[in-house]
Amino acid sequence: MTMARFMGDTATVAAMECRTSFRTPVWLFMSLFQPLLWLLLFGRLFEPMVRVPGFGARSYVEFLLPGVMGMTAMFAAGWSGLGLVYDMQRGTLERLLVTPAARASLMMGRIAWWAAVAVVQCLLVLGVAHLMGVRVVTGAPGILGITGILGMFGVALGAFSHALAATTGEQTAVVSTLQFCSVPAMFLSSTLMPLNLAPGWVRQVAAANPLHWAVEGVRILLLDGWQWAVVGRDVGLLALFAGLMVAWAVSSLRRLSA
């Protein structure tokens, strides 16, 4: 299969997923409302934390923003595998598998769409934060970098969710796994507080936490500037994680059609 054919099939599947998701616009609205609530409520509620020695931020809103964007991407893309379970149960996936489209296209179209949804939601959150006075110190290039990091994280979480769905075929398995992983991932990272204020074992766990990689990279571009060594490390780890998850997702779909 040529690259043009692969990209065309992927775009077709993404468009199908787009139409399906807009049939339930309430879900899209609520998935955006929740991170805005986190930003507006927690950002003001925990504002006194910035006076803790070593916190290192001018306001809690600007510190929390990368964490909210990371959680937005995690939940938007992380739950996307449920759609694959529904398609498996309704027989829609079975009909798609008999088409000439490559298995990788069938999976990548879905993953790409939900990663795009995650990025758009994160940029809307960033826009609200801008109205609250938060500024991106790296300017427009930094916003592009933030978009790339969150897009890569969205691809990784979307692929993980779809791989889990294709492997188990059960809605309860996907939901329970994501619920089990998401809360510890949030607290064992720099999402809510600086790691220099956390216990040593939390810092060690955070070093292997993909959510922390995304949040740290976004926070540096948002607040600190072009720290290439740290951002490059986080991007490299996210790229590796995304590649592994996509490979798992595609291979899981191929096993279904074998």
Among 161, 180, 152, 149, residue whose Cα is nearest residue 248: 161
Structure tokens at 238: 């996210």
Among 199, 243, 189, 184, residue whose Cα is nearest residue 219: 189
Sequential pLDDT tens for the chain (258 residues): 577 787 888 888 888 888 877 776 666 666 677 788 888 888 878 888 888 887 877 888 899 999 999 999 998 888 888 888 888 888 877 787 777 777 788 889 999 999 999 999 899 899 988 888 889 999 999 999 999 999 999 999 999 999 999 898 888 888 899 889 888 999 999 988 888 888 899 999 999 999 999 999 999 999 888 989 999 999 999 999 999 999 999 998 888 766
- On whether the CB atoms of residues 131 and 48 are closer than 8 A, the answer is no
Q: What is the spatial distance between Cα 160 and Cα 155, in angstroms, rounded to a whole number?
A: 8
Structure tokens at 230: 């740290």
Structure tokens at 20: 């399906």
pTM for the full predicted model? 0.90
- On whether the CB atoms of residues 73 and 119 are closer than 8 A, the answer is yes
